[in-house]
Amino acid sequence: MRGVPDIAGRSARLRSAATDVQDASVEIPETRYARTADGVYIAFQVFGSGPRDLLFVPGFFSNLIANWELPGMARFLERLAGFARVVAIDRRGVGLSDRMSPGDLPPLETQMQDLLAVLDAVRVRTVHLFGDEDGAELCALFAASFPARVLSLGTYAFYPRVSRTEDFPFGPSLEEWEAAASDRAALWSRGWGREAAREDYEYAAPSVAPDDPEVAVFARYLALSASPGVAISLLKQWGESDVRAILPTIRVPTLVLTRNDLPRDHPRIARWVADAIPDATFVELPGRDLALWVGDTDALADEIEAFVTGVRPSGVPHTVLATVLFTDIVGSTELQASLGDRAWKDLVLLHHSIVREELARHRGVEADTAGDGFFATFDGPARAVGCAVAISDAVRPLGLEIRAGLHTGECEIIDGKAGGLAVSIGARVAANAGPSEVLVSQTVKDLVAGSGLVFEDAGEHELKGVPDRWRLYRVVDA
């Protein structure tokens, strides 16, 4: 039996290595820059394809590269890219765009010109807009000001103002908002990073707030997005903005999205916004997470796709060629008994965080999690093999060994989930793997020829419930 692992010390070292070094296999879109009339450089990425263009304007914080390290955000952006050419930006002062000193943040009017500069750089004449939180505020103002350039407007978590008035009976009073903003500014000043991330997730992402690794990833995201001074200035600017008057002047098709269990009147505010914009479409989805990238991002993307294209994604089964990966911890029962339930739970949470980070880096899609096992799909077998090896290497210093199995085949996709014989074969391949072993089917081996991956013959095996005997191969050099 292994000794009890040093979870705290080893996890810190692992996370530092995992998050600070970007895996070369991740296909992050190229970051480009548009120069505004006043000489500021606005960062943007272009990805996806299709007969339409969609501009994604984020809320308070963003970083175009770190977006792809948040699994939920990466999944959401990939879904948008499935039906449109997506232009994603970092707004002035944050992320990869030119940073500003806290007192130099521009008004919304100037930020509208930034959007025009990006669209002109990409040579986009008309565009579908989608904005999140105060990014939705900017998109709404842009749609009202430049209707000839906007095909449709989509918003999520849109606050037209942050405090209540007699004719806007939502949210905190002005005094309550100012007090809360002051407390938040003090917190950000002393604890920008993990402490700020924890506080923000308790409000905006309660479903994952207890998960320390999830909070750690978001803390990194905050640090890469903005300095605390800029963040405080953005908060102040948001508190002073009020765009209610422009809502009735919006004349483009508009989609107002919310989730039904959000805090502080968000669903009621979204309905008020939809009523204020002529002929707007209001959609309320299940969920309690305000953070766009947490919770059911597919449901949000489905509504945006249906609104932009006029065609709702079909639940009818269809098939795609995919590589399936199954992993689980070897000897988990014995290890749990030796560690105790609390230490085991902490170790499993850390394992899950590492697996999800590697899936994000290798562009895998988490399909299911059961106990200490993962099922994921990939659109490229070489990335899938690389991901399996990376997971095995990353968890070994924790005193963990995993087994992993991969197969490539035709998967039936129903409501975004993979099924069919190929999935069953992948699970059976994994069941034949030993500790720290990555086994693949003959199909995977044949498809990655020329990738530099090295295999050795693991012999023929009977796969339970699957016809014939199957020759499997062990990954020996990735």
Predicted confidence (pLDDT) per residue in 221-270, tens digit: 999 999 999 989 888 888 888 999 999 999 999 999 999 988 888 999 99
Total residues found in the chain within this entry:
478
pLDDT tens digits along 25-62: 347 999 999 999 999 999 999 999 878 999 999 998 89
Phi, psi at residue 70, to the nearest 5°? -90, 110
Q: List the beta strands (DSSP E) in 271-334.
A: 281-285, 318-329
pLDDT tens digits along 338-374: 989 899 999 999 999 999 999 999 989 898 888 889 9
Nearest to 223 by CA among 112, 338, 95, 311: 95
The DSSP-derived string for 374-410 is EEEEES-HHHHHHHHHHHHHHHGGGT--EEEEEEEEE
CA dihedral 358, 362, 363, 365 (to 10 degrees): -50
Q: Is the pLDDT of residue 16 over 70?
A: no
**Do the bridges between strand 402-414 and strand 318-329 make them parallel or antiparallel, or are there none, so unpaired?**
antiparallel
- Percent of the chain's residues with pLDDT above 90: 64
Q: Is the pLDDT of residue 118 over 80?
A: yes
Neighbours of 475 (CB within 10 A): 25
* CB contact burial 31-45 (16+ within 10 A = b; e otherwise): bbebebeeebebbbb
Residue type, 463: L
User: What CA–CA distances, in Å, run from 324 to 131, 329, 421, 438?
Assistant: 33, 17, 11, 13
Tokens of 54: 């969609």
Residue 377, pLDDT score: 93
pLDDT tens digits along 392-406: 999 999 999 999 999
State the Cα–Cα distance between residues 303 and 309, nearest whole angstrom: 10
Q: Is the pLDDT of residue 100 over 90?
A: no
pLDDT class of 2 with cuts at 50, 70, 90: very low
Query: Element (H or E) spanning 47, and its range?
Result: strand 41-47
pLDDT tens digits along 179-213: 988 998 999 988 888 889 999 899 899 988 888 88
Q: Is the pLDDT of residue 319 over 80?
A: no
Contacts (Cβ under 8 Å, ≥6 apart) of 389: 438, 475, 478
Q: Is the pLDDT of residue 134 over 70?
A: yes
Q: Which of 95-104, 276-285, 468-477 has the lowest mean pLDDT?
A: 95-104
Structural domain boundaries in the chain: 36-309, 318-477
- Percent of the chain's residues with pLDDT above 70: 93
At the topology level, CATH places domain 36-309 in Rossmann fold (3.40.50)
CATH architecture for residues 318-477: 2-Layer Sandwich (3.30)
